[in-house]
Each structure stands twice: as C-alpha cells, then as structure tokens.
Chains A and B, each alone.
Chain A
C-alpha cells in the first residue's frame, strides 16, 4: 500500500491564509468600505479628525498583522507544494482557509468585542446582536473548516488504498 501523503503542511498553510485573509475582510469591508467601526472606536469615537486619524493608525497596526499572517501562509503553501511527500489537497486548503477565517472571527469577537470592548461590529449600536452574529459566524466557519479538513484526510486515505501496488506472486 502506498504511504499516505502528508496533509498537515497544506492545512497549516491554509489556516494562516484564512486568518490573514479573514482579517483583511474585516479590515477592508467593516473598517474601510462600510465604516461600521475602527480599531478603537469603542473608546475613540470617530467624531473628530484626530480620533479618525488615531483609529486609522491602529487599523494599520491590525492590517500589518493580517498581512504578516497572509505572508506566512504563502510561504508555507509554497514550501508544501515543493515536496512530493505532501498532499496537494484543494478541500484541505479550503478547509484550512475557512477554519482560519473562523478562528480569526472567534478570537477577535471574544477578545475585542466582548472582553476588551475595543470596538463593536456596528459601533453606532454599541454591543449588539451583530457582535454575537460575528462570533457565531466564526464558530460556524471553524466547524465547516474542521469538517473539510477531516474529509480531505478521508479522501487522501482512500486514494492511498486505491493506488495500492498490484501484488505479484
């Protein structure tokens, strides 16, 4: 029987990419396009130029971290693709990315929205159902990502059995 290829490298790359790109979705969609909140709008409401600029600075720090996560993900994916011992699994990558996005939403939701109150999803409403919806989306995406990663494992194992070398007697 063929030795199953390693799946973990592409999953870990996917997780980093998901965290980074999920962070960019938050930053680009909620901070910039919709302008629902800024990084510190729970404490510095955007009611003055100085507060807007200060929020923009901390948004930049946030985006620097999401950029770093994405960069690490690209490097890990590149390294995973270089070795023939690693499985090149689309569902594994998708599962990692969705799971990573879910992890970002879950942690960001708990820490920033519910514990530190740095900001809320829709700042004009303060703590609201939108915060809970954001958190729920994170948990759901984590679960979907986990299932996809497990299904990638199952497929990988089936493939390994399917490609069994013919036994010669």
Chain B
C-alpha cells in the first residue's frame, strides 16, 4: 500500500529511483506497490480507448 511520508523541502534529500538515496526507496515502494498493474492499466486506459476510437474514426475518413 502507499505510504505517505511528509518531509519538509529544506530537509528532504533528493529522491532517486535508481540508487536508493534520499526518498528513493519510499518512492519506489509507492510506485511498485501491490496495485502497480492496476494503476498502470488505469493510466493506460485512455490510450487504449483512443486507439479503439481512432480505428473506428479512420473508417469514416475521406479516402
């Protein structure tokens, strides 16, 4: 599950997803939590719907 970590900007070290410095580990845990696949699906859903709409739209375009 997502964990909310509150840090003040002046005290917060930079987050780094690649190495584990700063808040990087917490950020990784927040992104790659148990709901990652579900979140990815939801974020990508508009792209899928757009592709489907485009496939229909193209059939009605002038040749």
Contact = CB atoms under 8 A, between A and B. Distances in A.
Interface residues of B, number: 32
A119 B1 CA distance: 19
Nearest to A61: B43
Contacts of A118: 42-43
A75 to B, nearest CB: 15
Interface string B5-37: 111010010010100000100110011000000
Secondary structure class of chain B's binding surface, majority of residues: helix
B61 A103 contact: no
B2 A44 contact: yes
B46 to A, nearest CB: 5
Interface of B: 2-7, 9, 12, 15, 17, 23, 26-27, 30-31, 39-40, 42-47, 49-50, 53-54, 57-58, 61-63
Interface of A: 6-8, 11-12, 15-16, 19, 39-40, 44, 47-51, 53-54, 57-58, 61-62, 65, 99, 103-104, 107-108, 111-112, 116, 118, 149-150, 152-153, 156
